[in-house]
Structure 1
Amino acid sequence: MIYTVTLNPAVDYYISMKEFQEGELNLINNGYTLPGGKGINVSKVLKNFGIESTVLGFAGGFTGDFIRKNLKEYEIKDKLVELKENTRINIKMRTEKTESEIAGHSPNISESEYKEFLKAISEIKEGDILVLSGSVPKSLKTNIYQEIIEILPEGVKVILDTRGEPFKYALEKGVYLTKPNNVELGEFFNEKYETIEEIIEAGKKLRKMGSENVLISLGKNGSVLITKDGVWIGNVPKGELVSSVGAGDSMVAGTLYGIVKGMDISEAYKYGIASGSATAFTEGLTTFEGMQKLLNDINIKREGI
């Protein structure tokens, strides 16, 4: 079974307009609302690909109800802990020139609510896969992902997709895969990388620090996969960018799809690239058909070969 953890989900309000004028009345061209959260996105893409998963985390109030209802419509199982406070609302704004985000205020999570969440974690068994992704609410410890990993049984593959201190602490316990982007990688090492060679070296450092495999997304410049067997560099297929929101989560889901189907991670990487790109080229998250259409346009080169 695959479990995805979203500690800080949201209701995401997507809006588009020609331009945003500060201090003025702005009219949108288009708007729609979707449940947000990196783990939730991974579960939804997996469902689109015919792979079952269970969503773990927290949800509260009318916004929490909206998330639960949407997951039910998707026929995705959830064990979200009910909070007293409302789940946050985020704004994702796209103009002709830029993409901007406004992150809403996170609800407070009590000690009893956290303990209830840990009960769901305790049900994870050897051979399961756990995706730990997204930000950590201020009411929880920054080492929460580390604490979760500590109580897992042996043989659970952990995929880590977060940043800052939660990333650092979790990495110390060892994980199967991390998926930073180039900006997050630079933030973590307090460096600015100018070349692909520098990015690869930084990825190799993550392997030494506890990540068995490292998948680095580079936006329009493609991506890099680093494993014990070598380094692979993947392209971005041709297409028109609609929104980058959820593309990284879709990359995780596509890679997971390949792994669940019995592929080596270097082979599953192709499905990750296609999935992330397909989401970037459409509104919302990719379908299985959308991902498949791009597979033949993916070019992966092994470094040194």
Structure 2
Amino acid sequence: MIYTVTFNPCLDYVVGVDDLALGAVNRVASEAIMAGGKGINVSIVLKNLGHASCALGFLAGFTGDEIAHQLQLMGVDTDFIGVERGMSRINVKIKAAEETEINGIGPDITDADVEALYAKLDALVSGDILIISGSVPAVLPGDIYERIMAALEGRGIRIVVDATRDLLVNVLAYHPFLIKPNNHELGEIFDVELKTRAEVVPYAKKLQERGARNVLVSMAGEGAVLVTETGEVLEAVAPVGTVVNSVGAGDSMVAGFVAGYLESDGDFERAFRMGVCTGSASAFSLGLATREQVEELLAR
């Protein structure tokens, strides 16, 4: 079974404004409300690709109810912890000449809520896949990634981590099955600027030397790089298309990689190609990637 964890789910309120004027009344040209959060995005794309997963995390208030409702309509299995105080975030994404985001705070998660999450994760068994991604709200322990991985260490659970800086670096000692920084995040870790796939490879290998089993680096229009635990270095150019919405593209790449890995009985090249095409399919559409869109890109 595949599980995803989203510590701070949200409703994304995406609005299009022809000409945003600060300090004035702006009329919305288009709008959409959708469940969001990195792990939730992964679960949605996995469902679109034909793979079941269970979305875990914390929900609160009427916004939390709407997140759960939307996922139910999509057929995504969930097992969220209900938080009593506060409400799940509303993130406003304004698409005008320049994109602007206003992100909410999130609910007041208690120690008891965190223990409830640990209890759910304790039920995972050998062969399961756990995908942990995204930022950690201030009300949670800053080392919660490490605590989860330490608790599950040695149990045969393949853990995928999509996070930035210390959240990512600090879990390497627990040998995650896959990590997925982008080239900018990878560069921040080593205080360098990485623009080409060739430049990315040695630094991806450094993260592997620190403990990561497989390192997948997304690079937007420059494509992607995968350094595998079997010693392969795979590179891909980005599929050709018009970028419509980059939100969720990285999460889609993770979902596509996991789906491709499972469908090919562990073929890293197949998983890599599937990941690249799934991430691109989401970037080329208003919503998250569908199986049909991914297959069309794979066929190229």
Tell me which interval the TM-score lies in, with the shorter structure as reference length.
over 0.9
Structure 1: 5+ residue runs without aligned partners?
A: 298-305
1:235-274 alignment to 2 at 5 Å?
235-261=237-263, 262-274=265-277
Q: Is the 8 A contact 1:143 1:165 kept in 2?
A: no
Q: Tell me which moved more, 101-110 or 78-87.
A: 101-110
Q: Is the 8 A contact 2:57 2:81 kept in 1?
A: yes
Partner in structure 2 of residue 291 of structure 1:
294
- Per-residue CA deviation, residues 194-244 of structure 1 (Å, 9 max, x unaligned), is 443322111111111111111111111111111132211111112111100
Task: For residue 151 of structure 1, give the secondary structure of its aligned residue in structure 2.
Answer: helix
Q: 1:159 aligned to 2:160?
A: yes
Q: Tell me which moved more, 148-157 or 136-145.
A: 148-157
Tell me the TM-score normalized by structure 2.
0.95
1:1-305 alignment to 2 at 5 Å?
1-84=1-84, 85-96=86-97, 98-152=98-152, 153-228=154-229, 229-261=231-263, 262-297=265-300
RMSD: 1.3
Task: For residue 155 of structure 1, give the secondary structure of its aligned residue in structure 2.
Answer: coil
CA distance in 1, matches of 2:179, 2:19: 36
CA distance in 1, matches of 2:245, 2:236: 20
Change (3 A) 1:268 1:194: closer
Task: For residue 79 of structure 2, give the secondary structure of its aligned residue in structure 1.
Answer: strand
Q: Tell me which moved more, 287-296 or 21-30.
A: 21-30
CA distance in 2, matches of 1:173, 1:23: 49
Q: Is the 8 A contact 1:3 1:131 kept in 2?
A: yes
Number of residue-to-residue matches in the alignment: 296
CA distance in 1, matches of 2:43, 2:195: 34
CA distance in 2, matches of 1:52, 1:31: 29
- Per-residue CA deviation, residues 147-203 of structure 1 (Å, 9 max, x unaligned), is 101111521111000113222222221101111111111222222224433221111
Change (3 A) 1:52 1:195: closer
Identity of aligned residues (%): 40
Q: Tell me which moved more, 260-269 or 244-253.
A: 260-269
Amino acid at match of 2:188: E
CA distance in 2, matches of 1:170, 1:19: 44
Q: Is the 8 A contact 1:106 1:138 kept in 2?
A: no
Task: For residue 81 of structure 2, give the secondary structure of its aligned residue in structure 1.
Answer: strand
